Amino acid sequence: MKALSKRLYPILLAVALAGSAFQGGLYLRRLEEGAVSAAKAPPQASALLKLNPERAPVRLETLKTLQGPDEECKSLFSSVLRLVKEHYVEKITEADESKMARGAVQGMLDALQDPDTRLIEPEDRKLLENAEAGKFNGMGAVLALRKEKIGSLDTIKVVVVAPLPGSPASEAGIKAGDCITHVDGKWIIAYDPFSEPEVEKARKALRNGQIDVASYNKVIEEAEKRLKNGLLIPDALEKLTANTSGTIDLTLERPQSKTPIQVKVHCRTTAVDPVMSRNLNGGLAYIRVSQFTKRAQTEFANEMDKVEAERAKGIVLDLRDNAGGAIDAVTSVASRFTGGGVLATIQEKNRRHNIRVPKTRAISIPVVVLVNGGTSSVAELLAGTLRDCLHAPLVGLRTFGDGLVQTPVILKDGSVVLITTGKMLTPQGTDFEGKGLEPDVVVENKGPVDAQLAAAEKILRSALAGRKT
């Protein structure tokens, strides 16, 4: 199961938290690789994880599944259900049974320790529709839960994968890679406070008779206070994604900054325009894709028609801060560049198969692709595909590293199980899961000038000059 565990929980959706007790009589659901329980998290928190699964939805009845459940597992479930119905202190209603069944399903999925494999309640399916339409509430950013080891502590950090274009997060200056540590002054509980080195030291000292119980209890009380005054990850995610008005104060850790950064975010609904374009000097075209949806597929086709009609000499394709979307949309975009053929490989449990599209006319002008740490999932796949097939250079920073594929399975009651079914590889077999793609030309934007775009333009002009000689 660990192979499915990820540093990321892209947020765009719901999250996986298993229950576990902390010391001192306090409880916190176990944060396993960034987890929050979809069953327990509010619908708004669910809006954080990946809302645009790579695969199109399928219905359960259309799938070939193993016939008959495992008898031992079936017996275990039935025995516990019967035990609760007969002996629980309060009456168990049909509604209670339904909740228990959903909880059992969620617990089963949580046990995989894969945050992208989860249950979406029927009432939460609207989140998928909103994401497909490019609408997001709150701060307007794609988030991830990332596991990091700091000394002896296993920590979970809420990380910004990509601020959405024109969003409150973008306007507040939040960047890809920022870690959100506090919301409205409250610490997001990133680890078990009872595992802090100070607590372990006090515990050992108590055992060795070096301190008395009263001194030990003071240390424990401090850990309890830290936990009590903190925010559980589901609650933090709700604050970050639920509101369509009001403000939230965030404390950020930024890799390039030695001190925490304070920002105020004015929440609202962000509508993402998936494709935008403009002409650059020297007959070059610039196309930015922010999200891969059906709308993006159509709008990109229109932009490419315009590029060809205007006889552009080269294209800068901007995939920065693009957190992904549907494979079908990406293959449609890729085919306009490559002329079809094998555009990707999907590695599933028992087989590896190629994604092919019919051969068509490919463009004959040079392409440069802009990427950064917010380039994730199928956006990374597209970048890798264009590099493999066209030798298109990648310019910018290393991509996020989300190469897993999720397939939505619609159940009879209207709920959806999102299940990780495979891993994406580029046409030449590059595996970017957990690693990302290293750009051919590393450029960091440090000031108001878009140095990455300037570098891409320079590469294109050099390529065009080489064609003339």
HEC secondary structure over the chain: CHHHCCCCCCECCCCCCECCECCCCCECCECCCCCCCCCCCCHHHHCCCCCCCCCCCEEHHHCCCCCCCCHHHHHHHHHHHHHHHHHCCCCCCHHHHHHHHHHHHHHHHHCCCCCCCEEECHHHHHHHHHHHCCEECCCCEEEEEEEEEECCEEEEEEEEEEECCCCHHHHCCCCCCCEEEEECCEEECCCCHHHCHHHHHHHHHHHCCCCCHHHHHHHHHHHHHHHHCCECHHHHHHHHHCCCCCEEEEEEECCCCCCCEEEEEECCCEECCCEEEEEEHHHEEEEEECCECHHHHHHHHHHHHHHHHCCCCEEEEECCCCCCECHHHHHHHHHHHHCCEEEEEEECCCCEEEEEECCCCCCCCCEEEEECCCCCCHHHHHHHHHHHHHCCCEEECCCCCCCEEEEEEECCCCCEEEEEEEEEECCCCCECCCCCCCCCEECCCCCCCCHHHHHHHHHHHHHHHHHHC
* pLDDT interval class at 67 (50, 70, 90): low
Has residue 37 got a pLDDT over 70? no
Please give the class, per CATH, of domain 7-61+141-271.
Answer: mainly beta
* pLDDT interval class at 26 (50, 70, 90): very low
Q: How do residues 204-244 score in pLDDT, each as one tens digit?
A: 999 999 999 999 999 999 999 999 999 988 789 889 987 88
Mean pLDDT of the chain: 83
Pick 53 or 463 by higher pLDDT.
Answer: 463
User: What pLDDT score was predicted for residue 90?
Assistant: 92
The Cα 405–Cα 330 span in angstroms is 13
Q: How do residues 166-219 score in pLDDT, each as one tens digit?
A: 999 999 999 988 999 999 999 999 998 998 999 999 999 999 999 999 999 999
Query: Average pLDDT for residues 57-62, to the nearest whole number?
Result: 61
Q: How do residues 407-420 score in pLDDT, each as one tens digit?
A: 888 888 888 888 88
C-alpha distances in angstroms, 162 versus 130, 274, 435, 440? 18, 14, 17, 21
Q: How do residues 92-101 score in pLDDT, each as one tens digit?
A: 998 888 888 8
Please state, for a pLDDT cut of 90, what percent of the chain lies above it: 49
Query: Average pLDDT for residues 89-108, to the nearest whole number?
Result: 87
Query: Average pLDDT for residues 135-158, to the nearest whole number?
Result: 85
**Partners of 85 in the β-ladder:** none
What residue ranges do the domains of the chain occupy?
A: 7-61+141-271, 275-468
Residues 452 and 443 sit within 8 Å (Cβ to Cβ): yes
* pLDDT interval class at 56 (50, 70, 90): low
Residues 331 and 357 sit within 8 Å (Cβ to Cβ): yes
Has residue 36 got a pLDDT over 50? no
pLDDT winner (highest mean) among 8-17, 47-56, 113-122, 247-256:
247-256
In this structure, whether the domain defined by 275-468 belongs to CATH 2.30.40.10 is answered with no
Residues 378 and 292 sit within 8 Å (Cβ to Cβ): yes
Separation of CA 177 from chain center: 12
Q: At what angle do helices 378-390 and 327-338 cross, to 10 degrees?
A: 20
List phi, psi (to 5°) of 45: -65, -35
Please state, for a pLDDT cut of 70, what percent of the chain lies above it: 83
